[in-house]
Chain A
């Protein structure tokens, strides 16, 4: 047995923190600990994603449970000396909630963590994902043990059906029903595929799951394979996720070594093994039939369903495809029972959901919350609200297939049905918060540009339809919107939905339709008044220096990349609109106590243009700040 330690430093080594230098920080921690002869008492444990990515690189000190964030290499010697040697926790590295002065030392006190309910991510930050023993110690592989010793495949399917578990990849199909359909097929062999081809912009739930707890996915796959009598499974991971791939490879080989994968698992007579397949980043591969084609070595294009993969999938054999998050729920359901699981969540959506909370929000990160939680709790309690005193506008959920949930629906509980009713969808769990400075036309443009790039091109409606939608959106945001554009967009969107074969095309108009539903007035303002209410669309805005406020400090002038600003020290500066590229640098440079640079749109532009002309024509001398 390992020597007893008095302190363990659970250092986040998820992709976010690694990008921030986590590996170097771990190295430095070990160096400083060794230098003080504390290496027998204190160990550093690299973990998967802790979730509070906005605070990375971060770590949690066990057993004190103290949370340290935004670590730099320079902090480490002091931290080791003060806290780990002398027992004095370092306040300046603790988390301080926005707009407060006192730090919250304990992880359990931080609101970001307090409101979460961990089922899938039960081991995040607690285990070293590269050690199977850590997973086993946390009651890992208890469920497969139970399944192999006391349950028939039918029992397993029954239990999953009873739990109410639904697919976490987006569509929310009941997992037990999918397994049942596959198990009833006569053709053999049957295949199991775990889908980790996560591609939504701003979403990283699946990646973090594999990085923090790969064995929970492996155990879930073993149970699913037992339920449908499959001897072979694939896990499809995009190669843009090198850390997830590496940890999954390690986990699979460890599981094989222990006899938890392979021939005669745990001496039960059940055979099952897993092979990793790397995807190359085509978004459409997340669609199940495309993914199957990709594994078969064909061009990853979708095909018509039915037959569904559960009837005829990989190499024409019955195939269950589940998202990795769905599979990671399975061991817990088996171990703790369907009744326990179905007690969590809403009437139609059971359990929890992982979301990646990003965008205009204080606390960005990965969260797991019970179904039925309200958007308000997520945005204001977990997320800590909107930075810089800005107004919350909407949350974009479900990625390119989803839509915007406006602030008016902030108190509605989140589940599969409520999101669909609101014109969005659960999707895989991306949650992008937007504030008053975000233009909804621009949001739509972004997602349509994405799906337009990623459309495989098989269906005309998706390929050319997304082109046409994008063209109209570009026109609107360029200030060239025409009467009837909104109606045309609506018609186009419905057509693309109806005429496309796979989920990508069928859902790609959602960002447009949902923003039209809730923010029609903004589209109208762009088209009719040539006004962008969020002051975002470049062709519809102008930067302007308020002559009453400008102190003539030359700052904006110096940093203007197109030399569009004229003026002298202590003379009012003026922007030449013909030269201005609208980069906004002048607004950034103008000192906050001066705040002379403003953005205007619509009819305000005309008013200010006249004013500017007056200023420009007037005798410069009279505008000398010193004498005015």
Chain B
């Protein structure tokens, strides 16, 4: 590694920031792949991998990708919940990689809910 100039140090700072963005916690949205036993059995792993690839390809650092347990509607698995700041959570079900890519591009990137494949809007109330 050659010695840095001030300009190079600044550049390095910008590029290294991407390496620790998870820890900074400045997210404008959260994507939860439901990964209960039912989800995994119906292909949630593939959905997670597809999201990871998409996140990677577009260098997304302001949206959290996480997993959770079964959402209670096992027949619709694999499922995902997309929560963007200021909007009600949206659930999509019976996902496949193609649908997943659409959700990523149209909903997460462009901010348009894909109404024809939405499973539900909002979240259940906590009892």
* Set B9, B18, B32: member contacting A266, Cβ < 8 A: B9
* Set A3, A63, A85, A127: member contacting B35, Cβ < 8 A: A85
B28 CB within 8 Å of chain A = no
- B9 contacts across to A, CB distance below 8 A: 136, 141, 145, 258, 260, 266
Tell me the dominant secondary structure on chain A's binding face: loop
- B25 contacts across to A, CB distance below 8 A: 62-63, 65
- B48 contacts across to A, CB distance below 8 A: 6, 41
- A264 contacts across to B, CB distance below 8 A: 3
Interface centre among B3, B17, B32, B33 (most CB of A within 10 A): B3
**Given A86-B40, A136-B16, residue A8 in contact with residue B6 (CB < 8 A):** no
Digit string of B27-41 for contact with A (CB within 8 Å is 1, else 0)? 100001111110010
Q: How far is the CA of A136 from the CA of B69 in the complex (A)?
A: 36
Q: How far is the CA of A598 from the CA of B84 in the complex (A)?
A: 63
- A84 contacts across to B, CB distance below 8 A: 67
**Given A86-B35, A87-B32, A266-B9, residue A6 in contact with residue B20 (CB < 8 A):** no
* Set B4, B36, B40, B55: member contacting A258, Cβ < 8 A: B4
A133 touches B3 (CB 8 A): no
- A10 contacts across to B, CB distance below 8 A: 23
- B34 contacts across to A, CB distance below 8 A: 87
B3 touches A6 (CB 8 A): no
B75 CB within 8 Å of chain A = no
B27 touches A63 (CB 8 A): yes
Q: How far is the CA of A127 from the CA of B68 in the complex (A)?
A: 26
A8 touches B4 (CB 8 A): no
B69 touches A138 (CB 8 A): no
Q: How far is the CA of A267 from the CA of B3 in the complex (A)?
A: 9
Given contacts A10-B23, A86-B40, A87-B36, 12 further A-B contacts (CB under 8 A): A40-B52, A63-B66, A86-B37, A87-B35, A87-B67, A87-B68, A142-B13, A148-B6, A257-B3, A258-B1, A259-B2, A266-B5
Interface residue ranges, B against A (CB under 8 Å) = 1-6, 9-10, 12-13, 15-20, 22-23, 25, 27, 32-37, 40, 48, 52, 55-56, 60, 64-69
* Set A6, A62, A139, A257: member contacting B13, Cβ < 8 A: A139
- B17 contacts across to A, CB distance below 8 A: 137
B4 touches A259 (CB 8 A): yes
A126 touches B67 (CB 8 A): no
A336 CB within 8 Å of chain B = no
- A260 contacts across to B, CB distance below 8 A: 4, 9
A134 CB within 8 Å of chain B = yes
CB-CB nearest 5 A-B residue pairs: A259-B3, A87-B67, A137-B16, A87-B68, A88-B69
**Given A88-B68, A266-B9, residue A5 in contact with residue B20 (CB < 8 A):** no
* Set A4, A137, A138, A267: member contacting B6, Cβ < 8 A: A267
A133 touches B19 (CB 8 A): yes
* Set A6, A62, A86, A136: member contacting B23, Cβ < 8 A: A62
* Set A126, A149, A267: member contacting B20, Cβ < 8 A: A126
A3 touches B56 (CB 8 A): yes
Interface residue ranges, A against B (CB under 8 Å) = 1-8, 10, 40-41, 62-65, 84-88, 126-127, 133-134, 136-142, 145, 148-149, 257-260, 262, 264, 266-268
**Given A63-B64, A63-B66, A137-B13, residue A5 in contact with residue B22 (CB < 8 A):** yes
**Given A41-B48, A137-B17, A148-B6, residue A62 in contact with residue B56 (CB < 8 A):** no
Interface centre among B23, B35, B37, B66 (most CB of A within 10 A): B23
- B20 contacts across to A, CB distance below 8 A: 126-127, 134, 137-138
Q: How far is the CA of A41 from the CA of B18 in the complex (A)?
A: 15
- B4 contacts across to A, CB distance below 8 A: 258-260, 266
Q: How far is the CA of A133 from the CA of B60 in the complex (A)?
A: 20
B16 touches A133 (CB 8 A): yes
Q: How far is the CA of A266 from the CA of B25 in the complex (A)?
A: 31
B6 touches A145 (CB 8 A): yes
Of all chain A residues, the one with the shortest Cβ separation from B40 is A86
A136 touches B12 (CB 8 A): yes
Of all chain A residues, the one with the shortest Cβ separation from B26 is A63
**A484 CB to nearest chain B CB (Å):** 62
Q: How far is the CA of A298 from the CA of B40 in the complex (A)?
A: 68
- A127 contacts across to B, CB distance below 8 A: 20
B22 touches A63 (CB 8 A): yes
- A65 contacts across to B, CB distance below 8 A: 25
Q: How far is the CA of A267 from the CA of B17 in the complex (A)?
A: 23
- B12 contacts across to A, CB distance below 8 A: 133, 136
A6 touches B52 (CB 8 A): yes
**B58 CB to nearest chain A CB (Å):** 10
- B22 contacts across to A, CB distance below 8 A: 5-8, 62-63
- A1 contacts across to B, CB distance below 8 A: 15, 18-19
**B55 CB to nearest chain A CB (Å):** 5
**A-B pairs with beta carbons under 8 Å apart, 16 shown:** A1-B18, A6-B52, A7-B22, A63-B23, A63-B25, A86-B35, A87-B34, A88-B68, A136-B12, A137-B13, A142-B13, A145-B6, A145-B9, A257-B1, A258-B1, A258-B4
**B98 CB to nearest chain A CB (Å):** 21
- B27 contacts across to A, CB distance below 8 A: 63
**A400 CB to nearest chain B CB (Å):** 38
- A40 contacts across to B, CB distance below 8 A: 52
- B67 contacts across to A, CB distance below 8 A: 6, 84-87
Interface centre among B10, B20, B52 (most CB of A within 10 A): B20
Of all chain B residues, the one with the shortest Cβ separation from A267 is B5
- B60 contacts across to A, CB distance below 8 A: 4
**A63 CB to nearest chain B CB (Å):** 5
Interface centre among B6, B27, B52, B56 (most CB of A within 10 A): B6
A86 touches B69 (CB 8 A): yes
Of all chain A residues, the one with the shortest Cβ separation from B55 is A4
Q: How far is the CA of A64 from the CA of B66 in the complex (A)?
A: 8
Q: How far is the CA of A65 from the CA of B22 in the complex (A)?
A: 10
- A133 contacts across to B, CB distance below 8 A: 12, 16, 19
Interface centre among A137, A139, A145, A149 (most CB of B within 10 A): A137
Q: How far is the CA of A62 from the CA of B41 in the complex (A)?
A: 26
- B69 contacts across to A, CB distance below 8 A: 86-88
Q: How far is the CA of A169 from the CA of B15 in the complex (A)?
A: 36
Q: How far is the CA of A126 from the CA of B69 in the complex (A)?
A: 27
**A89 CB to nearest chain B CB (Å):** 9
Q: How far is the CA of A573 from the CA of B25 in the complex (A)?
A: 62
Q: How far is the CA of A64 from the CA of B35 in the complex (A)?
A: 16
B1 touches A136 (CB 8 A): no
Q: How far is the CA of A436 from the CA of B40 in the complex (A)?
A: 56
**A581 CB to nearest chain B CB (Å):** 53
- B5 contacts across to A, CB distance below 8 A: 259, 266-267
